[in-house]
Amino acid sequence: MNNGKLMGAGVFTAIAASLCCIIPVLALIADDCDCAVDEKPNFFQSKIFLLSITIFATLMMAFPFYSKALFPKKEKTTAVVERSNLQTVELDIKGMNCAACEKEIDYEVNKLPGIVQSDVSYKNKNAVIKFDISKTSIKNITDAVNGTGYKVISETLKN
């Protein structure tokens, strides 16, 4: 297939897929016909039900944008750590694809004692974590990340 046919197929597919979402919204805002109907429609055929489903679907589609607010904020604490005990590890992590993923990993890692700093990036698919080796270990950190459902695929010690 050439690029023109692929582009046409893609546009057609996008329009067809969006019809299932557009038609109910149009039905919601369209005026009722002046048909004389004696019986009241049941709840599942009402505009209130359609409106509630539309709002729910919109909230679920926007979840990655506001899910960060559901995680507790990191409290800034000052810890005295002996410089010789500081170690930095970079973890390559498989499975992250949004900001909520990085927040979940960051939250779980910061529960561990001895974590000084963590920088998790779903774009780079990694986490750079500075920690006190007298209080935690790389194994504890990788176990915490793997416990979230994401997978640590490699570890690199940094200076």
The CB-side HSE value for 131 (13 A sphere, CA atoms) comes to: 25
Both tokens of residue 82? 């002996």
Which residue bears the tokens 């800034």? Answer: 76
pLDDT given at position 28:
61
Q: Where are the domain boundaries for CATH 3.30.70.100 in the chain?
A: 74-158
Quick check: pTM over 0.85? no
One CATH from 3.30.1360.70, 3.30.70.100, 1.10.260.40, 3.30.470.20 for 74-158: 3.30.70.100
Could you give the C-alpha distances from 60 to 46, 92, 135, in angstroms and in order?
22, 29, 39
pLDDT along the chain (159 residues), means of 10: 71 73 64 61 78 86 78 63 85 90 90 91 93 91 93 86
Can you tell me the distance from the alpha carbon of 62 to that of 23, in angstroms, rounded to the nearest whole number? 20
